[in-house]
Structure 1
Amino acid sequence: MRNKLVFENKRDHIIRVIHAAAMDIRIWTEANAQNDMALQRVSRLAPETIHDVLPHEAQLYCIVDASWKSPSEKIGIGWFLFSKESTLKLQGSSAMDATGTPLVAEAVAMWKALCQLHRLHYKNVAFLGDRLKLIHQLECAMEDKQHMENHISEASSTIHDIKVIAKENLYSFYHVPHIFTNVVDSLAKNVRTNNQSYVISWPCY
């Protein structure tokens, strides 16, 4: 009788282990499938060219980036203005006073680019940047989502200033992968390293 109980207990234990293993395999398989689907969605959504991001009506776009190293060191900013046909029309760059975070540096770079294009009377420009948090907060600010605008912490005052000029000039903001900002990023790093004063230049064709 005792041997029978021991055998049945072992059998029940083995069955439970098999069931648990089967459950683990099913959960693992489902998780992998979900991850694959998520990666496929991201792959489909990732733009292949700048024009995949631009709104149809945009005639100009401006790629903006900043270079930040530490809260005690100067930042570098850079921007390029292009026609819809990707012809360079204007560019600007400068070393600027230190900022506490990279987010603020990116916001300052965006602000300086906007101010310059505003002074030159450019309208309806699409501004592109690779800092997703900044672009998201700018989009919320432009849509007057006050609860989101208040969530911006350290960059909130600069975001507000950007919104004022952007609405006046029909400016809009779009996120792009870092691969599309590489050239501007290199420019920003160079001016930060060399402590360059503000320079605006037009291409010579």
Structure 2
Amino acid sequence: MDLTQAFINSTGMQSKKSAFIPGRLITDNVIITHELLHSLRIKKIKHPFMALKLDIAKAFDKVEWTYVDDVLKRLGFAEKWCQWCRVAKEIWELSHVFLNSDASWIDQHSKAGIGWCLHDASGRYILKGYASIDPTDSALEAEAIALRESLLTLKRLNYRNVTFCGDSLTLYGHLMKVAKLGNQTPSEHAEIQGYLDDIITLAQDSYQFSFIGRKANSIADSLAKEARVNNSSFVVS
């Protein structure tokens, strides 16, 4: 019996048993996976090993156009109406939007908070997200987590033309430098290198990064502080 099978048997995992938990968002699976990987990276384990069983093939919080098109036609909508609906959907997805993210950090032993707010060019609110997270080694690491989680959420929701904004010059300055030079140079801050790798990989489509001042980032800052104080679970609304 190999090591993987022995581990699965010892934890009670079954190939036919669903890993789906009612009330959990599909993004929770991604967060759990990334946090486990990060934990293995920072712990001094000679041979790190983990096994995950995630049901993510069919998610109820992501709807493909083919499904919507089929439903519209079954309801009796004419082909022309279906085409108009698709155009409206694609225009919305291709519109240039902006996301501000921030983190609220106290110290290495306290939970931190992350928050982000999505808006269009005129400042009209579209979407927001926030959560409390486990303690991090620095405010910079919490900022990197906030950016990564907001990016993951927008990828899931199929937003394509997004400028991510934040008030961390170290984080956003590095990402802007990478975008300008076209190559992935290592960061001077090793504690966030894993997050940077994830962010740069996820942002390869049509995402941009921009540094902004603290005053321009007040909404995301308030969301992050509220999430930290209230020990909030992951919320997108």
Offset at residue 138 of structure 1 (A) = 1.3
Q: Which residue of 2 aligns with 1:76?
A: 113
How do 1:33-182 residues align onto structure 2 when only pairs under 5 Å count?
59-142=96-179, 143-146=181-184, 148-168=185-205, 170-182=206-218
Could you report, residue by residue, the CA deviation over 1:139-185 in whole angstroms, capped at 9, with x for unpaired residues?
23334444x424332111101100011113x1111000100111211
4+ aligned runs moved over 2 Å, structure 1 = 140-146, 148-152
Unmatched runs of 5 consecutive residues or more in structure 2? 1-93
Change (3 A) 1:184 1:150: closer
SS in 1 for 2:189: helix
In the aligned structure 2, how far is the partner of 1:191 from the partner of 1:61?
21
Aligned twin of 1:199: 235
Partner letter of residue 141 of structure 2?
V
Give the Cα–Cα distance (whole angstroms) in 1 for the partners of residues 163 and 95 of structure 2: 6
Q: Which has the higher contact order (CA 8 A, sep 6+)?
A: 1
Larger Rg: 1
Deviation at 1:58, TM superposition (A): 7.2
Aligned residues: 143
* C-alpha deviation, 1:193, in angstroms: 0.8
Structure 1 length-normalised TM: 0.66
Q: Which sections of structure 1, spanning at least 5 residues, go unmatched?
A: 1-56
In structure 2, relative to structure 1, the CA distance for the partners of 1:194 and 1:83 (3 Å cut) is same
Distance 2:191 2:202 in 1: 20
- Tell me the distance in 1 between the aligned counterparts of 2:178 and 2:217: 23
Distance of 2:164 and 2:187 partners within structure 1: 22
Contact 2:176 2:209 in 1 (8 A): yes
Question: 2: CA distance between counterparts of 1:121 and 1:58?
Answer: 12
Measure, in 2, the Cα distance between the counterparts of 1:72 and 1:59: 39
Identity %: 35
The amino acid that maps onto 2:99 is C
Q: Which has the higher helix share?
A: 1
Residues 78 and 188, structure 1, Cα contact 8 Å, conserved in 2: yes
Q: 1:58 to 1:156 in 2, by over 3 A?
A: farther
Query: 2:117–2:219: 8 Å Cα contact kept in structure 1?
Result: no
Q: Does structure 1 conserve the Cα–Cα contact (< 8 Å) formed by 2:100 and 2:116?
A: yes
Does the aligned pair in 1 maintain the 2:163–2:209 contact within 8 Å? yes
SS in 1 for 2:101: strand
CA 1:138–1:58: 2 relative to 1, 3 Å: farther
Describe the SS at the equivalent of 2:146: helix
Question: Where does residue 46 of structure 1 map in the other structure?
Answer: none
RMSD: 1.6
